[in-house]
Amino acid sequence: MNKYNGISFPATRLRRTRRTSALRKLVEETTLSTNDLIYPVFLLDGKNKSSPIKSMPGINRQSIDGILKIAEKMMNLGIPAIALFPVVKTNDKSLVAEEAFNSEGLIQRSIKKIKSEFPELLIISDVALDPYTTHGQDGIINSDNYVLNDVTVDTLTKQALSHAEAGADIIAPSDMMDGRVGAIREALESNNFPNTLILSYAAKYASSFYGPFRDAVGSDANLAAGNKYSYQMNPKNALESLREVAMDINEGADLVMVKPAMPYLDIIYKVQKEFSVPVFAYQVSGEYAMLQAAVKAGYLEYKMSTLESITAIKRAGASAILSYHSLEIAQWLNE
C-alpha cells in the first residue's frame, strides 16, 4: 500500500491550494533569498579598466576599483560572498604557472584590498592553474600534454596558501586533481589557517557550457583544440560523483560543489541526499549565455526565467548558488 492510495477527486482537489497568491505562498516548499547567492567576477590588472565579455552580455571584466564598487553593492544587497577569477596577462603565463602563487599577484593583491575595505564580505578564491598556464590546462603537463596529478597538487597547494595568506575566507579548488583537498587542508593546518574553509569543486563535469568563461579569462585561445576530459568528470556518470564527494569530504572539504547546475540537477539532488555536507551549485557561464541569448532573441522573458532557473537549482538541494545573475536576482528579491 503506498501512501497515495485512496486519495481521489473530489475529496482531493490540488488546485484548492493554488487558488490565490496567499494560499500559494503558504504552501511554498522552496524559498530563495539573497543569503543563497554568490557572485563571480572577472578581475583585470590595472586601474579604471572594464572590458565587456562578448558571450556574456551584461558582464564586464574589471580592474579592482570597479570590483570594489561591486563589493559595496553586494554588501548593500545582502549577498554574502564574492568569487574571484583573474584575467592573467600573457607575459605572466608559463608552462608551470608559477604566477599562481606570487604573493604580489593580481588575485593576492585584490583579496587583500577587498578584505581591507569590506571585511565582512566573504571571499572565495579559485584554485586551479588554467588562468596561469600557456596551454590553458588546469595543471602542469608532460611532453604528451597529459596533466600530471601530483606535481600539479604541489603547485595548487602553494597557490591555496598564498590566497589564505592574503585573507581569502574560502579556498575553492576547481581543478579536479586527485588528492588536492587533503594536501591543501594539511598545508592550511600546518601554516596556522585552521579556519579557512575549502569549497571543493567535487563533481565538476567536462562540460561544453564553460565556453564563455574561458573567453572571459582568456584561456580559450591557449586551450585551443585541447580538452579537460582526462580530469573533469564524464557527463554520462552520476554514481562517480558520489565517490568524488566522499573523497573530498574525507580529505577535509567543508563545502562541495556541483558544476554546471541546471543540466546536473540530478547530481545536486543525489549528493544532497547522500551527504550532510552543504552542497553548492555553479550556474555556469554557458547557462547564463543561453538565457541571455534567448531573451535577446525575444524567445524568453528575462526576470521570471532567471528566477525559475535559480529556484530549480535550490529546489534540487543546493544551499548556495554561484550565478552571474546574482546582482540582478538580489535586486529583484529586495524589491
Q: Is position 99 an interface residue for ligand PBG (rule: CB under 6 A)? A: no
- Pick from 174, 196, 241, 306: which binds ligand PBG (CB under 6 A)? 174
Tell me the residue ranges of DSSP E strands in the chain: 37-44, 50-52, 60-63, 81-86, 122-127, 140-141, 147-148, 170-173, 197-204, 255-259, 279-283, 320-323
From the list 93, 158, 259, 270, the catalytic residue is 259
Binding mask 112-131 for ligand PBG (x = CB under 6 A): --------------x-x-x-
Segment interacting with ligand PBG, rule: CB under 6 A, options 23-31, 71-79, 155-163, 206-214: 206-214
From the list 204, 228, 270, 314, the catalytic residue is 204
Segment interacting with ligand PBG, rule: CB under 6 A, options 181-189, 209-217, 297-305, 310-318: 209-217
Closest CB 252 distance from ligand PBG, rounded Å? 20
Closest CB 159 distance from ligand PBG, rounded Å? 11
CA of residue 48 relative to chain centroid, distance: 26
Estimate the crossing angle of helix 64-77 against helix 326-334, to 10 degrees. 30
Pairing between strand 37-44 and 60-63? parallel
Grid coordinates given for 162: 598564498
259 noted as active-site residue: yes
Nearest to 184, CA basis, from 238, 93, 83, 253: 253
d(CA 75, CA 122): 10
Hey, which residues between 284 and 323 contact ligand PBG (CB under 6 A)?
284-285
Closer residue to ligand PBG in complex, CB, 75/102: 102
Q: Which residue type occupies 223?
A: L
- Pick from 42, 101, 132, 213: which binds ligand PBG (CB under 6 A)? 213
Binding mask 228-247 for ligand PBG (x = CB under 6 A): x-------------------
Closer residue to ligand PBG in complex, CB, 12/136: 136
d(CA 42, CA 277): 28
Grid coordinates given for 96: 608551470
Helix (H, G, I), strand (E, B) or coil at 171: strand
Closest CB 77 distance from ligand PBG, rounded Å? 21
Q: Which residue type occupies 328?
A: E
End-to-end CA distance of the chain: 47
Provide the annotated active-site residues: 204, 259
Which parts of this chain interact with ligand PBG (CB under 6 A)?
A: 126, 128, 130, 138, 174-175, 210, 213-214, 228, 284-285
